Amino acid sequence: MPKSLKRFWPVALLGLALVVVLLWRREPRNAAVAPSAPPAVAATASAPTASASRPSAAAPADELADPRAALTAALGKHDPGLRALEFGRLLQLWIARDPEAALAYVRQLPRGPAFSEGLLLVLDAVSRRDVDRALALAAELATTRDDRVFYSALFDRLAHEDLATAVTKLALVPAGEARDNAARALVSQWTRTDPAAALAWAQQLPETAGRTAALESALGEIASKDPLQVVAVAQKSLTGPALERTVFNALEKLTVTDPQGAAGLVTLLPPGEMQTLVAVDVARAFAAQNVEAALAWTRTLPAGNAQILALDNVLEVWAARDAAAAGNYVVALPPGPLQHAAAVGLASVLGRANPEQAIAWAQALPADATRPVALTNIVNAWAQRDPAAATRWAADQPAGTVLPAALTGALSYWLLRDANGAQEFVGTLTGDVQVRAAAAIAPTLAQDNPAAALNWAQTLATAAARDAATAAAFARWLDNAPAAARAWLAASPLPVEMKTRLAGAPH
């Protein structure tokens, strides 16, 4: 199966599971109301009646005269979306007419997307008449992640209809991902009606019964109302990735209502991506309330990426109100990695707002290694608004004032906005600056019109600039269209030495 189709099937199957849940929700509700405390184990499962929304068995006589042939034809459709829809529609009609025959058909399908779709539909139908049998079939046949979507849909419905029955049936689900799916769906539904009871039940589960999944689900539902409780319970009851995800989710919710409270809890997350993401969100929200307190908080974070990005975001919020104060704060920081990171981050913010003032600020930075990087970031931000002015300023700077990327980066923005203007400007440059600039824009020029780019390269005044631009433009052409590039090279009037060098270039 092509990779693009393989990527489609999991999405289609999850969509199908959601449709199944919605169909279940439309059915008559004859079940007991969910209890407010951990329910006793029920003796047997209720047997839901067939829904009026289920496909009718009265299909056109010719459409299901030969169900296997009709389904084979559906699976032969080229479009993956239409194939899934038509296969599902026909199989539902057959299930309504003869569920055992439809089950036998699905059993013999090769494992793959069609089998998974068919299995979900058959198990859905069987579970409406006999939950125990559906669970036995799922234990036998649902062997992949896509297949085990069934447990989420089934236990969402059972918990909605009869919580006691859902709790009883959980023991029939195989341990592992299947039981985790079931426990997660059951508790999610229960928590919406009685969060305290759902959480208490999840806490007393053994790990083999899906305890971690159930707890994470319950705490995820509770986080919107009481994120501090969630953090406290998670610390006592969860470990590893589940703890990290739960605390992360709670802190995201807490940040909206109490960023200062969330700030004090960021270090509960271990260093890594989640801690950094939370730190950034907290920093922005905290700074919007109290910049001074937010700055003090960033100093309490352990050195590393989270602290740097948190400070960057506090400074960005501050600079929007008072750019001079934010800039002075950075200049006054102790020399070292944090000041360097803060300076180069703030440089982009200041450069977008007022590049002339930003340049004056950056030139006053105390660290020699920081100034060129900060100025380069200012030029890059400036070039997004006025690439010609930014490029001209960068080109006029003495060597070492800015990084080489300042000029070439600004030129790339100018080239996108006004290619002729950028080319003309490069022609006015001299020395090594022209060489770097010509080599930087030549590949972009060669992307759309390589012959024109190579002709332009020959108009440059110095041999070094001509050679650099020619080599860069030809390399791009050679990557994109080797045969055409080599044919041009063979017929070109370039010096033999240059042609030899270009002909041997790797591609």
Q: What is the percent of the chain where pLDDT is above 70?
A: 87
The per-residue pLDDT for 504 is 81
- Using one digit for the tens of pLDDT, what is the confidence trace for 158-197? 999 999 999 999 999 999 999 999 999 999 999 999 999 9
Please check whether residue 291 lies inside any domain of the structure: yes
Let me know whether 95 and 33 are in one domain. yes
Say what the pLDDT of residue 5 is: 40
Same domain, 15 and 106: yes
Report field, pTM of the whole predicted structure over 0.95: no
Residue 367 binned pLDDT confidence (cut-offs 50, 70, 90): confident
Task: Give the Cα separation of 426 and 438 in Å (integer).
Answer: 6
Name the residue range of residue 397's domain: 331-411
The rounded distance, in Å, linking the Cα atoms of 347 and 380 is 10
Q: Is the predicted pLDDT of residue 229 greater than 70, yes or no?
A: yes
Instruction: Name the band, by pLDDT with cuts 50, 70 and 90, for residue 43.
Output: very low
Listed range (29-38, 257-266, 267-276, 332-341) with the worst mean pLDDT: 29-38
Q: Please give the Cα distance from 321 to 324 (Å, whole number).
A: 9
Domain boundary residue, one of 390, 411, 432: 411
Domain ends where: 242, 257, 272? 257
In a domain, 166, yes or no: no
pLDDT by residue (tens digit) across 268-324?
Answer: 999 999 999 999 999 999 999 999 999 999 999 999 999 999 999 999 999 999 999
Residues 307 and 351 in one domain: no
Query: Mean pLDDT across the stretch 132-141?
Result: 97
Residue 253 banded pLDDT, cuts 50, 70, 90: very high
* Burial environment of residue 418 by CB neighbours within 10 A (0 to 12, 13 to 18, 19 or more): middle
Q: 136, 161, 186 — which closes off a domain?
A: 161
Q: Which pLDDT tens digit goes with each residue over 486-507?
A: 999 999 988 899 989 898 866 5
Local confidence band at 62 (pLDDT 50, 70, 90 cut-offs)? low
Radius of gyration of the chain (CA): 33
**Are 250 and 231 within 8 A, CB to CB?**
yes
Q: How high is the pLDDT of residue 507? A: 56
C-alpha span between 84 and 4 (Å, rounded) = 15
Cβ neighbours, 10 Å, residue 242 = 17
Q: Specify the number of domains making up the chain.
A: 5
User: Do 3 and 142 reside in the same domain of the chain?
Assistant: yes
